Amino acid sequence: MSKNTNSEVLNSFDAIVIGTGISGGWAAKELCENGLKTLVLERGRMVEHVIDYPTMNMETWDFEHRNELTADEAKRQEKQSRTGYTTAKEFRHWFVDDTEHPYTETKRFDWMRGYHVGGRSITWGRHSYRLSEMDFEANKKDGHGVDWPIRYKDLAPWYDKVEEYIGVCGKNMGLEQLPDGKLTEPMEFNCVETDFVNRVAENMDGRVITHARIAHITGDKVHVGRGKCQFRDRCMRGCPFGGYFSSNASTLPAATRSGNMTLRPNSIAYEIVYDDETKQASGVKVIDTLTKEKLFFKAKVIFCCASAIASAAILMQSKSERFPDGLGNDSGELGHNIMDHTLGVGASAIVNEHEDKYYKGRKPAGFYVPRFRNLDKKSEQKTFKRGYGYQGSASRMNWKSAIAELSYGKELKEALVKPGRWKIGMGAFGECLPYHDNKMTLNYDKLDSWGLPIVDFDVEFKENEKAMLKDMMEQAVAMLEAAGYDEVKGHYNVNDSFPGIGIHEMGTARMGRDPKTSVLNEFNQIHTVKNVYVTDGACMTSSGCQNPSLTYMAITARAANHAVETYFKNKNRKL
Amino acid sequence: MNRREALRSLSLSMGYVVAVPAVMNMLESCTEDTETWTAVFLTDKEKHLVTHLVDIILPSSAIPGGLDLNLPQFIDMMCKDVMKASDQEMFHQGSQVFSERFTERFNKDMIKANKEEVLALFAEYFDKSADESGIILQEQRKNSNEIPANELQDYLMYKCLIAVRTFSLLGFYTSEKIGTEVLNFDPIPGVWQPCIPVSEVGNAWTI
């Protein structure tokens, strides 16, 4: 026995989870609830549910500059502000300071992220749509990328489990391209949305528009520690009611309740150590950002849930004799095949109807137009493969509608305190194909303040995505025109939509059947290092057009339960 | 006292307590300008101009006006803190253009302008058809180096006047007074009622 026994025991866990976002939270919950002593690492600060949501109850006038950034603040978040909304004063503490956390761009890539417990589960869009069988079969059918090693039936029970646990409202439509789920009562359409849904169905050959499926609590099911959505629509600030799902409100408290979680914020995981004797990973090297100490934590199982880009970066940094190009990178695919959803295309219109109608409450989402392209022979497109969906809503405009005018005076002032005209709009999320040459690399010429290499992006949308963008705008316009609305305007500017802006980056360590062309197997284990699981967006083999978080959660829950089974099988074998 | 508290107490004393006519008197007798706040960005001339502009853009009526909320001081702060340096420079250049045109027209310095005179000149640039407005606003989205030399003066002047207008609307409709006393303030709705008569609500919801 070495004299370090004590610290070794202290630094030894059954499992380590890197990351506390939407995937890390689920890994932590499943591993801990199944009895594994689990260390959960987070590179950023602690954020405790409710207590650490500094802006959750503020009104616009409570912000010194009314939610606008000062010029100095804006300078510190030049890249994070590319979305146009995430760095408003109410949210900006959830997004990194670009001057402290730089990255480089061989080609422009909008990498939006926050370093804190909960990660982007606090700020996510909350739209939750299952991938369908046609998504899992897509690569195999049209030859792009590699085949998924799983099919819809493998994930379906885990989608069930996740939806029931997090609470997703919406309406089952029995669509092949958008499988039914365990949904609670939908948030009803307002009068304009109701008309729109009916008119599009009537005038466009039954095209389906359904309620947005969002991870908000409706109905009467009890979720420990959380309450129903209160229709404040201030979700991204953090919800004091736990009305929507986040790691902080849901999975991390569950892991805490198990008594098996050690949560360690301010801990940058920078290397997963490979042990040549066992052919397994032995643990994770960590920098404590408060003490600047370098630490090593051992574990039997390691879950990489740091987000697609960060997980890949950690694996790429984990070099050994066996894996000179990064842990598990025999295939050369690690860091490649980056996908995101194309964004920034859609249409809007003015609705000169229902002037006597209004609503009470601020609904946090509107409608969803499920994919209608390339579903079958009839909907097959000549110019592009795969498809897209739209999210949209209708509401009455407010004073901001007068910003782009030159009006002034008493009439203007008094008109703007009344409900404005109805406006309806939608924006598309398009599938991006996996391309080997869309990649990230580590830039060792520029080190961060911890001496670690920063990430460089070389990613672009290509012909298929661009052809789809065109159709996305045309169809958005066609739908609003079919509903008979006025001032229909499409928006499509290919130069405004760079990869990353969908904040759905994925694919950097894809799952596959063949270790020669993929990094992970069907249970998200690294093919050749089976005690390392990667279950965040990195694992995605294709992107679908659905918002991906629900799938990350289902995949993570499935992988974690596989890890638990394997862990106890091995333990019993030793006994 | 930090800036926010200072601003709050100032807007309390200026906007809520000082009656509207008192403010108006103060402005009309501009040589006896006794406002209690000191500008941090605006020059004296600009402060005088912005005060008239706020009163023109959001005059007092049954609903409070921009001066009742002390928007000139809000605008002064926003110009200083929120505007990029290049926009700040254009703001000053633009106010200069407007002031020069004012002097040409009325044969007196901006610092002595009254509201009616400022309105007369302002209206020439802002009483526009939708199409004309569209063109002007489209030009404003360009960078200054894309603007032909003979249009640069107009471009800069609009930069300044539109900034005042935008900050006026922002400061007004997101203020506590309008948000809680004029608009319908309901910070925690608790319910979603998708389709109800406007008459049940009246004015717009505060956001």
Rg of chain A over CA atoms, in angstroms? 24
Closest CA to A197 of A178, A210, A186: A210
Both tokens of A61, joined, read 């006038």
Closest CA to B75 of B39, B117, B36: B39
Both tokens of A367, joined, read 């409608």
**Which SS3 state, helix, strand or coil, does residue A267 take?**
strand
- Quote the minimal CA–CA distance from B193 to chain A in Å: 5
Question: Among A71, A396, A404, whose Cβ lies nearest the Cβ of B137?
Answer: A404
**pLDDT score of B4:** 41
CB atoms within 10 A of CB A345: 28
Q: Which residues of A touch B84 (CB under 8 A)?
A: 71, 74
Rounded (10°) angle between helices A463-482 and A191-203: 110
Is B191 at the interface with chain A, CB within 8 A?
A: yes
**pLDDT score of B134:** 96
Chain A's closest residue to B125, CA to CA, is A406
Lowest-pLDDT range, A434-438, A459-463, B29-33, B180-184?
B29-33
**B27 has a pLDDT exceeding 70:** no
Closest CA to A302 of A273, A324, A338: A273
Q: Which residues of B touch A406 (CB under 8 A)?
A: 125-126, 128, 133, 136-137, 162, 165
Maximum CA pair distance of chain B? 60
Element (H, E) at A158: helix A152-166
Is A285 at the interface with chain B, CB within 8 A?
A: no
How does residue B185 score in pLDDT terms, banded at 50, 70 and 90? very high
CB atoms A68 and B170 under 8 Å: yes
Q: Measured between alpha carbons, how far is B181 from B12 in angstroms, rounded to an integer?
A: 15
Residue reference for tokens 């499409």: A490
Q: Which residues of B touch A197 (CB under 8 A)?
A: none
**pLDDT score of A6:** 56
Is A67 at the interface with chain B, CB within 8 A?
A: yes
A residues 173-192 closer than 8 Å to B (CB): 187-191
Question: Among B3, B175, B186, whose Cβ lies nearest the Cβ of A61?
Answer: B175
- Give me the amino acid identity at A11: N
CB atoms A413 and B61 under 8 Å: yes
SS3 content of chain A, % helix, strand, coil (to 5): 30, 20, 50
- In total, the C-beta contacts within 8 angstroms joining chain A to chain B are 156
**Which SS3 state, helix, strand or coil, does residue B86 take?**
helix
List, as own/partner pairs, every contact residues A371-378 make where C-beta atoms lie below 8 angstroms and the sequence separation is at least 24, other chains included: A371/A177, A371/A178, A371/A545, A372/A207, A372/A208, A373/A468, A373/A471, A375/A134, A375/A176, A375/A177
Is A256 at the interface with chain B, CB within 8 A?
A: no
CB atoms A361 and B191 under 8 Å: yes
CA B10 to chain centre: 17
Q: Which residues of B touch A416 (CB under 8 A)?
A: 169, 173, 204
Q: Measured between alpha carbons, how far is A441 from A62 in angstroms, rounded to an integer?
A: 43
Is A205 at the interface with chain B, CB within 8 A?
A: no
CB atoms B58 and A420 under 8 Å: no
User: What 3 state SS string does A22-85 have?
Assistant: HHHHHHHHHHHHCCCCEEEECCCECCCCCCCCCCCCCCHHHCCCCCCCCHHHHHHCCCHHHHCC
CB atoms B197 and A187 under 8 Å: no
**B7 has a pLDDT exceeding 50:** no
- Quote the minimal CA–CA distance from A397 to chain B in Å: 9
For A289-421, strand residue ranges (E) read 294-304, 346-351, 357-360, 367-369, 388-396
Q: Phi, psi at residue A301, to the nearest 5°?
A: -135, 140
**B18 has a pLDDT exceeding 80:** no
**pLDDT score of B35:** 65
A residues 363-392 closer than 8 Å to B (CB): 363
Closest CA to A536 of A40, A21, A23, A154: A23
Whole-number percent of chain B with pLDDT over 70: 83
Closest CA to A117 of A267, A10, A283: A267
Q: Report yes or no: A235 and A252 within 8 Å, Cβ to Cβ.
A: no
In this structure, the strands spanning A104-105 and A453-458 are parallel
In this structure, the strands spanning A529-534 and A525-526 are antiparallel
CB atoms within 10 A of CB A291: 9
Q: How far is CA B141 from CA A81, A262, B89, B130, in A?
A: 18, 52, 16, 17
How many helices, marked H, and strands, marked E, lie in chain B?
A: 9, 1
Q: Which residues of A touch B120 (CB under 8 A)?
A: none
**B102 has a pLDDT exceeding 70:** yes
Report the residue of B81, B164, B175, B184 to disrupt the A interface, i.e. the one with the largest count of A CBs within 10 Å. B81
Cα four-point dihedral sign A432, A438, A439, A443: negative
Q: Report yes or no: B132 and A407 within 8 Å, Cβ to Cβ.
A: no
Is A78 at the interface with chain B, CB within 8 A?
A: no
Judging by beta carbons within 10 Å of its beta carbon (0-12, 13-18, 19+), is residue B152 exposed, middle or buried?
middle
Is B52 at the interface with chain A, CB within 8 A?
A: no
B residues 123-142 closer than 8 Å to A (CB): 125-126, 128, 133, 136-137
Low-confidence ranges of chain A (pLDDT < 50): 1-4
**pLDDT score of B36:** 83
Is B10 at the interface with chain A, CB within 8 A?
A: no
Q: Which residues of A touch B5 (CB under 8 A)?
A: none
CB atoms A360 and B166 under 8 Å: no
Q: How far is CA A562 from CA A251, A556, A566, A568, A569, in A?
A: 18, 10, 6, 10, 11
B residues 160-189 closer than 8 Å to A (CB): 162, 165-166, 169-176, 178-179, 182-183, 186-189
Q: Which residues of B touch A193 (CB under 8 A)?
A: 194
How many helices, marked H, and strands, marked E, lie in chain A?
A: 11, 18
Q: How far is CA A397 from CA A35, A355, A401, A416, B196, in A?
A: 52, 12, 6, 9, 16
- B85 CB contacts (<8 Å, ≥6 apart)? A71
